[in-house]
């Protein structure tokens, strides 16, 4: 009996190690996906709330919508599924950079907090602290809150993006004085 028992111990040990390794790999994959999704959100928010950059301002001032469309595709396209990209650009993508450019403000992203939903692993909430300044006047800040839904089919791509509350940022950027 002891000979069989001695042979069984390594097999049991190897089996346990394989099971533990499987759990660790699965856990690391979830963390990697979460980190990738958070990085994607950060990139989109950086483009939204830093600048506006010179290329955007130039295209905006030219009223060249074809080139502006190409710009949006280059800047935001890699982060969205196709249908979400179209709705983001038509509803939100140009909102803050356009207001800032039109009224002479510079935007700066100060801080981002991103949390994954416990109920839906594809859903994230964010708060972006944004500074805006015009002509050397004291900088004003606002915390922009929103949600981002990632695609289950196209990993790492945004399926839905919505600002829930900009806490007055639109009003600040809408003033020309």
pLDDT per residue as tens digits for the range 58-95:
999 998 889 999 999 999 999 999 999 999 999 999 99
Task: Indicate if the pLDDT at residue 6 is higher than 80.
Answer: no
Q: Which domain holds residue 83?
A: 36-173
Query: Which pLDDT does position 10 carry in this prediction?
Result: 52
CA–CA gap between residue 46 and residue 64 (Å, rounded): 23
Segment 67-71 long-range contacts (CB within 8 Å, at least 24 positions apart) = 68/94
Residue 82 lies in a domain: yes
Which residue would you say has higher pLDDT here, 163 or 23? 163
Residue 46 lies in a domain: yes
- 108, with CB counted inside 10 A (0-12, 13-18, 19+), is middle
What are 43-61's pLDDT values in tens digits?
Answer: 999 999 999 999 999 999 9
Query: Which pLDDT does position 65 carry in this prediction?
Result: 87
Residue 29 lies in a domain: no
CATH for 67: 3.10.450
**Number of domains forming the structure of the chain:** 1
- Among 92, 158, 155, 169, which Cα is nearest to 124's? 158
């Amino acid at each position: 009996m002891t000979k069989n028992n001695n042979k069984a111990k390594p097999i049991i040990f190897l089996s346990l190690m394989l099971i533990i390794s499987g759990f660790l790999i699965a856990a690391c994959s979830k963390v990697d996906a979460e980190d990738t999704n958070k990085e994607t959100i950060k990139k989109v928010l950086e483009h939204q709330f830093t600048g506006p950059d010179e290329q955007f301002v130039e295209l905006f001032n030219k009223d060249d919508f074809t080139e502006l469309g190409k710009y949006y595709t280059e800047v935001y396209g890699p982060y969205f599924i196709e249908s979400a990209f179209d709705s983001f650009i038509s509803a939100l993508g140009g909102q803050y950079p356009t207001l800032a450019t039109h009224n002479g403000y510079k935007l700066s992203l100060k801080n981002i907090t991103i949390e994954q939903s416990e109920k839906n692993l594809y859903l994230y909430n964010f708060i972006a602290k944004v500074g805006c300044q015009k002509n050397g006047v004291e900088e004003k800040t606002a915390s922009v809150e929103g949600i981002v839904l990632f695609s289950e089919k196209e990993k790492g791509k945004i399926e839905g993006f919505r600002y829930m509350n900009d806490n007055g940022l639109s009003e600040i950027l809408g003033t020309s004085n």
